[in-house]
Chains A and B, each alone.
Chain A
Amino acid sequence: MKLADVQKILEAEVLCGSEWLNREIFAVCGADLLSDVLAFTQEKTLLLTALTHIQVIRTADMSDLIGIVFVWGKRPKPELIAMARIKDIPLLASPFPMYEACGRLYQSGLKGADNG
């Protein structure tokens, strides 16, 4: 599945990185605990989170994540979006709550980060 498919399923707005929507997603992780993202995800994982501070971008950069979807309609500040662009991390914003966003992706066949 590509990031473009995720965008449709989650009815998400692309905040940055529309040119990277053809990236293939291998696994998904829904987390508001960055410690877990650092400890348990594999590279090329898509992160779903409600956190919108700068350390989310840094964690994604260090963990080689494929992109970030902000759930619950949350949005990061413009400077954070600019930083994600520099680091090649596409950002999407979905109106769905975490549970429903994860459910929609799981139902469409995407596996979790620890067994993807």
Chain B
Amino acid sequence: MVEVNKEEKEIILKFTLQGLDFETAGEASGKIKRVLQQLGVGSDVIRRIAISAYEGEMNVIIHAVRGVMQAVISPVCTSITLDDEGPGIGDIELAMREGYSTAPDYVREMGFGAGMGLPNMMRCTDKFEIQSKLGVGTKIRMIIFH
């Protein structure tokens, strides 16, 4: 879903994500990338946005039941929010550590679940916030300046 807020000069992209849907996983992040390319945002900045969005999208697919990813693209920055319904994260500090993962074996066999996603999202973004409630879900907000 695409909305354009002309007054704020913002483009809003909203996607519904389904847990365990590995076939379409990454489509939403790909669409965000294409819009940024059409807007002429710098390729190094687009790469950081695309990677952090994709890591976030994969996290929802791997761990959550469902979720919503929203990208708000303004002339100065892109803000990405991920809001999922799922098991939540009990210890965020531990989850942010490189190499820590609760992903099942079949996800690791696909080449994911190495415990690099959250640290990589933080590394790629200028602002990174995460909130989680066990048994409810996780919210992540990331901002990347253009």
Bound CA–CA A59/B112 (angstroms) = 11
CB atoms of A61 and B112 under 8 A apart: no
B110 touches A58 (CB 8 A): no
Interface flags for A31-44 (1: CB within 8 Å of B; 0: not) read 11111111100010
- Within 8 Å of chain A (Cβ to Cβ): is B143? no
Inter-subunit contact B23/A54 (CB<8 Å): yes
Chain B interface residue count, CB cutoff 8 Å, equals 28
From A34, A54, A63, give the contact of B112 (CB < 8 A): A34
Q: Known contacts A61-B30, A61-B33: does B47 contact A35 (CB below 8 Å)? A: no
Q: Can you report 22 residue pairs joining A to B where beta carbons are below 8 Å apart?
A: A31-B111, A32-B111, A35-B113, A35-B120, A38-B116, A38-B120, A49-B111, A51-B110, A55-B22, A55-B110, A55-B111, A58-B25, A58-B27, A58-B30, A59-B54, A62-B29, A62-B30, A62-B33, A62-B50, A63-B50, A63-B51, A64-B47
The count of A-to-B residue pairs whose CB atoms sit within 8 angstroms is 73
Query: Number of residues in A with C-beta < 8 Å to the partner?
Result: 22
Given contacts A55-B111, A64-B43, contact A38 B51 (CB under 8 A): yes
| Chain B residues packing against A (C-beta within 8 Å) | 22-23, 25-27, 29-30, 33, 43-44, 47, 50-51, 53-55, 58, 110-117, 119-120, 123
Q: Which residue of B51, B110, B111 contacts A62 across the interface (Cβ within 8 Å)?
A: B51
Which residues does chain B contribute within 8 Å of A56, judged by CB atoms?
A: 111
The complex places the Cα of A43 from the Cα of B30 at a distance, in Å, of: 16
- A53 on interface, CB distance cutoff 8 Å: yes
